[in-house]
Structure 1
Amino acid sequence: MRKAFVIKAKAGQKEEYIKRHNPIWDELKIELKNYGITNYSIFCQTDSNLLFGYFEIENEKLFETIEDSQILQNWWKYMKEVLVSEDENSIKAKEIPLIEIFHLD
């Protein structure tokens, strides 16, 4: 299953966002794989603060439990400093899920 989302870096924080992903934490890579996430990429729009994420999952039920991961919660808190959130109390950045309308193998 393919998943995609859009997030937005706070003003002046896109470079910091990129820096924090180079490299991401080793334990985060392992945890993402533990939740069946593969083929994960994030792209940035060069003339804005918009970021586009794409990944594939093996199991929707397993993926739905990802918020239980302490490693992911720590990462989201760390990244929330540089990303736009719904509000101060949100555990992570505001993700806008995208619906797939076309795919070519």
Structure 2
Amino acid sequence: MVRKGFKMQLFPGQEAEYEKRHNQLWPEMKEMIHNYGGHNYSIYLDKDTKVLYGYIEVEDEARWAESANDPVCRKWWDFMADIMETNPDNSPVSIDLHPVFHLD
């Protein structure tokens, strides 16, 4: 497994909506994440800065990267684009974090 950490930016005032949408995550989105080898996925919010910190374990980096072309993923990006910073294709602006420590 490859452990990945990243950060994204939530728009102010969208904290409750972001959490609501993820609490109601579409079954097809859950399936898509697993189909591309994603496991143990968590997202945390810094309430002061509105920065979202994500953590996911993926089986294979190349396979995981292919998920960006899946229609379900694209639909999710479009659904989330109004409450967070996105790129022109509505993918979230996501900055990889450099790992500095891990303990099993």
Same fold by TM-score, threshold 0.5 exceeded? yes
Say if 2:37 is the partner of 1:44.
no
- Aligned identity (percent) is 36
Root-mean-square deviation (Å): 1.1
CA distance in 1, matches of 2:20, 2:37: 25
How far is 1:59 from its partner?
Answer: 1.2
Aligned to 2:96: 97
With structure 2 as the length reference, what TM-score do the two structures score? 0.92
Q: 1:17-36, aligned counterparts within 5 Å?
A: 17-36=18-37
CA contact 2:9–2:84 (8 Å) conserved in 1? yes
CA distance in 1, matches of 2:34, 2:76: 15
Q: Show CA shifts across 1:32-91 (max 9, x none).
A: 0000000000111132311111000011221121111000000011111100124xx232
How far is 1:22 from its partner?
Answer: 1.0
CA distance in 2, matches of 1:63, 1:85: 19
With structure 1 as the length reference, what TM-score do the two structures score? 0.91
Aligned to 2:67: 66
Q: Which residue identity is paired with 1:73? A: R
CA contact 2:32–2:67 (8 Å) conserved in 1? no
**Structure 1 alignment gaps of length 5 or more:** none
Say if 2:16 is the partner of 1:10.
no
**Structure 2 alignment gaps of length 5 or more:** none
CA distance in 2, matches of 1:47, 1:70: 33
Query: Which runs of 4 or more aligned residues in structure 1 lie more than 4 Å from their structure 2 counterparts after TM superposition?
Result: none
Q: Which residue identity is paired with 2:101? A: F
